[in-house]
Structure 1
Amino acid sequence: MTAAPFRYQLRVISTWLLVLVVVEFINLVSGRSLTAFGLVPRHTDHLAGIVLAPFLHGSPWHLAANLLPLAIMQLLLFQYGRRLFWQASAMIIVLSGLTVWLLGRDAIHVGASGLVYGYFGFLLVGGVRSGQLRQMAIAVLVAVVYGGLLYGVVPRGGQISWEYHLFGLLAGAIVAIILVGKRR
C-alpha cells in the first residue's frame, strides 16, 4: 500500500470540502430546500438519500462540526492508497446509507458524520488487519484522538442521527475487513 501523492490528497480533500460548503450555501439560501433530498428510512422516494445525505447538513454549524474530522480522516485513509480511498469511501457511503434506510428511525437523516464514523471504523479495523506498522500507528492515533466518537453511537434524543454514527462505524469496519488483506 503506497499513499497517493500528497498534492493529489490535498486536491481531493479540498474539493470534497468545497462541495460540502457550496451545497450548504445553496441549501441555506434556498430555505433548506435541499434537505428534502436527505435519507428518510423505508421511504422509496428517498432512496437517493442513501448517496446524497452525506453531502447535506442541517445547518452551517452541523457542517462546521464535520469538516475538520472529515478532512483528517480522509487524509489518513489516503495512506492506504488512492484506489482504496475511493473504494472505501463509496462502499461506506452506500453501506451506511442503506443500513440507515432499512433500520433507522423515521426522520430525515443528513450529514457527513456517518462517513466520518465510517472512516473511523475503517482506520481502526484496517490498521489492525493490515499488520503494517504505518497503518497500525494510524489506528492507534485515531483511537486516541477520536475515541470519544464512540459516545455518538449511543441512542439519544434530539436531532442527532446516532443511527448514521453507528451504521457508519459498522460499515467502515466491514469495508476494512473486505478491502484490507492480512499481512504478516
Structure 2
Amino acid sequence: MSSQDEMKGIAQEIQAQVLILGTFVGVMWVLELIDIPLGGTRGFCNGLNQFGIFPRQLSGLRGILFAPFLHGGFGHLIANTIPFVTLGWLVMLRRTIDFFWVTAIAMFVGGMGTWLLGAPGCHIGASGVIFGYLGYLIARGYFERKLLSLLFSLIVLVMYGGLLWGILPVRIGISWEGHLFGFLGGVVAAKLLATPRRSYN
C-alpha cells in the first residue's frame, strides 16, 4: 500500500470517528432540546428523564439503554459533552470498533449496577459511560502488558485521574454509583478486548 493510500485510509477513519462521536453527542443535544417543553430542565426526574434508571423498579430497567442520552439541563449536558468526546476518541484511537464495545459494556454493567445498588431516585447522564471509557483506558495497559499500552494508560491516568474522585460518594446529587459501576464496566471491557503480548517458545 502506498503512503498516499495510507493517508487516505487514515483520513477516512478520522471522518468516521468524527461522525460517530458527533451522532452520539447530537442525539444527546436533540433530546435535551425536546425535553425543554416537557419540563425536563426543571428537575432530573421530569420530562424525558422519566426514562432514566430508577433503582429496583422494573420500569427503571429501560434506563440502562436510555439514561446515558438524558441529562438534567444544559449545564449537566455541557459538563458531559467534552469528556465524552475526548475520552471516547481516545478509546477509538487504536480501533474504532472498540468504541462501540466499550460503550455497550459500560452501559450494561454501569446501568445494571446502578439499578441493583443505586440510591432511590432518577439516575441519568452520560457520565457512567465516560467513567467506562476512563476505566477501559487505564486498565487496558494492565491487561495487555505491552509497553505502548502501559505508557498510554499511564498518560490517561495522569491527565484524567482526578475524575476518579467521582466514584466516591463525596457529592450529594451525583450518581457516584453510576460512575463506579461504569468504571468497572470499562475495566471489564479492557479485559475482554485486550490483545495480550504473545509469548514465543
TM over 0.5: yes
Q: State how far apart, in whole Å, the 1-side matches of 2:84 and 2:152 are.
A: 15
Q: State how far apart, in whole Å, the 2-side matches of 1:141 and 1:51 are.
A: 31
Alignment of 1:111-130 (within 5 A): 111-130=125-144
| Counterpart residue number, 1:77 | 91
Q: State how far apart, in whole Å, the 2-side matches of 1:11 and 1:136 are.
A: 29
| Counterpart residue number, 1:20 | 28
Matching of residue 106 in structure 1 with residue 113 in structure 2: no
Change (3 A) 1:102 1:177: same
Aligned-pair distance for 1:136? 2.9
Alignment of 1:27-176 (within 5 A): 27-32=35-40, 33-176=47-190
| Counterpart residue number, 1:6 | 14
Query: Structure 1 stretches of 5 or more lacking a match?
Result: none
Aligned-pair distance for 1:139? 1.3
Per mean C-alpha deviation after superposition, the further-off stretch among 76-85 and 161-170 is: 76-85
TM-score, normalization by structure 1 = 0.92
Which structure has the bigger radius of gyration?
2
Contact map agreement 1:155 1:162 (CA 8 A) in 2: yes
Aligned-pair distance for 1:27? 1.3
Q: State how far apart, in whole Å, the 1-side matches of 2:115 and 2:67 are.
A: 11
Q: State how far apart, in whole Å, the 1-side matches of 2:197 and 2:53 are.
A: 38
Query: Structure 2 stretches of 5 or more lacking a match?
Result: 1-9, 41-46
Paired residue total: 182
TM-score, normalization by structure 2 = 0.85
Pairwise CA RMSD: 1.6
